[in-house]
Structure 1
Amino acid sequence: MSRRVPVSAGKLPQVGDRALVEFEEKSLALFNIDGELFAIDDSCPHQGASLCGGRLEGGVIQCCAHGLRFDLRSGYLLNSTLLKVASYPVEVIDGQAFIVIVSEETAL
């Protein structure tokens, strides 16, 4: 089962920018890359540093703590499949953006 988390209009990042979206006990980083929205967990899987404030280059975010770089499309560490940050699809329906959270049971 999946859940759609609405993103308020005030939280939608402009092109080339990012926003922190919090709901329940999750913090997600939402990025707007050339008009396409990407959402990932805000916590780096290495040691938990915030990714939202990292250096953004195209579709790649660099963790400000240790420099790890993650592809926003896949969530994987750049040039590797050994480390991944959770990523979530973003849907826009009638002008409203939703981050889609897929439950672990559905993902199996």
Structure 2
Amino acid sequence: MFVPLERLINLNEGYRRTFQVDGRSLLLLVVDNQPLLLVDSCPHKGAPLNTATLAGNVLRCQRHGIEFQLPDGLPLQASCPGLSMLKVAYEGDRIGIDV
């Protein structure tokens, strides 16, 4: 089942918004004009990533400073697992997720 999150027309560089889907907090952001969807939780200690800083293609968790390379979500620190990246889906003029 397709769950719409946002209209495509609103997805500009720098876009960032959280959504609640099936009890999970998801973060939709646009980096290098590419929409990325991830679980809004740092795999290091579970801190929300909606306030993380973004410098180029590096997302930095505000709580402990762990950094992740986007768009793949791989950590720059070997001791931390990668981000939980989700596949986006499209339907008409909307971006969302298939659940």
TM-score by length of 1: 0.75
Aligned-residue RMSD, C-alpha: 2.3
Write out per-residue CA displacement over residues 42-97 of structure 1, whole angstroms, 9 at most, x where no aligned residue: 11111111111100122221000011011232222126485112101223343210
Name stretches of at least 5 consecutive residues in structure 1 with no aligned partner: 102-108
Contact 1:39–1:90 (Cα < 8 Å) also in 2? yes
Structure 2 counterpart of 1:48: 46
Structure 2 counterpart of 1:92: 90
Write out per-residue CA displacement over residues 3-42 of structure 1, whole angstroms, 9 at most, x where no aligned residue: 54311339x5531131111112100111111321001111
Contact 1:39–1:72 (Cα < 8 Å) also in 2? no
Contact 2:5–2:19 (Cα < 8 Å) also in 1? yes
Q: State the identity %.
A: 29
Aligned residue pairs total: 98
Amino acid at match of 2:4: P
- The ranges of structure 1 where at least 4 consecutive aligned residues each deviate by more than 3 angstroms after the TM superposition are 79-82
